[in-house]
Amino acid sequence: MNFIALDFETANAKRHSACSVALAVVQDSKIVGKYYSLINPQTDFHWRNIQVHGIRPEMVKEAPTFADIWPEIKDFFQDDHLIAAHNAPFDNGVLKGCLDYYRLEPAHFLSLCTVRSSRKLFPQFDNHRLNTVCANLGIQLDNHHDALEDSVACASIVLEQEKRFGPQQLKQFVKMV
């Protein structure tokens, strides 16, 4: 399988408030690359978001904006590319929110939500949060809500689902965004 696993962390409840992004690049069913960047969201941080991911305003003060990093990552978001995310509606919404906020061209790509696929393929799990799915599948996740670790964990979930059920079974969870 070839796909990208995506994860955002946000400064507050606004969809354009991305304060970090990570991508795990998978080719031929192996993680072959990783991308991570802090992002200056140019907005306020909510204390609850800081509590979740530990990113503080002073940490992103000199970081690039989303508009600055978009040229580095936009080629991953093409019509025929598959982007996986754990809770894809959130991450896809953050991407759309950032693109809209900075008046950048919309991205169109194929999307796979590993929460949705895990609910269907692993109904026996107590819940389908990222840390729970990883624990049940034996996937290492030491620092949950670190965007890079979360993107690698998401990629690992897709690869484990591919191994157990085959790529054809995963196609039912793919949607165009």
Would you give the DSSP letter of residue 171?
Answer: G
**Per CATH, the architecture of 3-176 is what?**
2-Layer Sandwich (3.30)
Give pLDDT, residue 78.
86
Gap between the Cα atoms of 58 and 50, Å rounded: 12
Give pLDDT, residue 146.
97
Give pLDDT, residue 41.
98
Gap between the Cα atoms of 147 and 38, Å rounded: 9
Q: Select from 125, 128, 114, 119 the least CA-distant residue to 160.
A: 114
Give pLDDT, residue 134.
98
pTM of the model: 0.96
Give pLDDT, residue 80.
87
Q: Please state the domain extents for the chain.
A: 3-176
Give pLDDT, residue 123.
98
Six-digit token string for 24:
């795990």
Angle at 111 (CA atoms; ends 81, 8), nearest 5 degrees: 100
Which residue ranges in the chain fall short of pLDDT 50?
none
Angle at 8 (CA atoms; ends 3, 48), nearest 5 degrees: 155
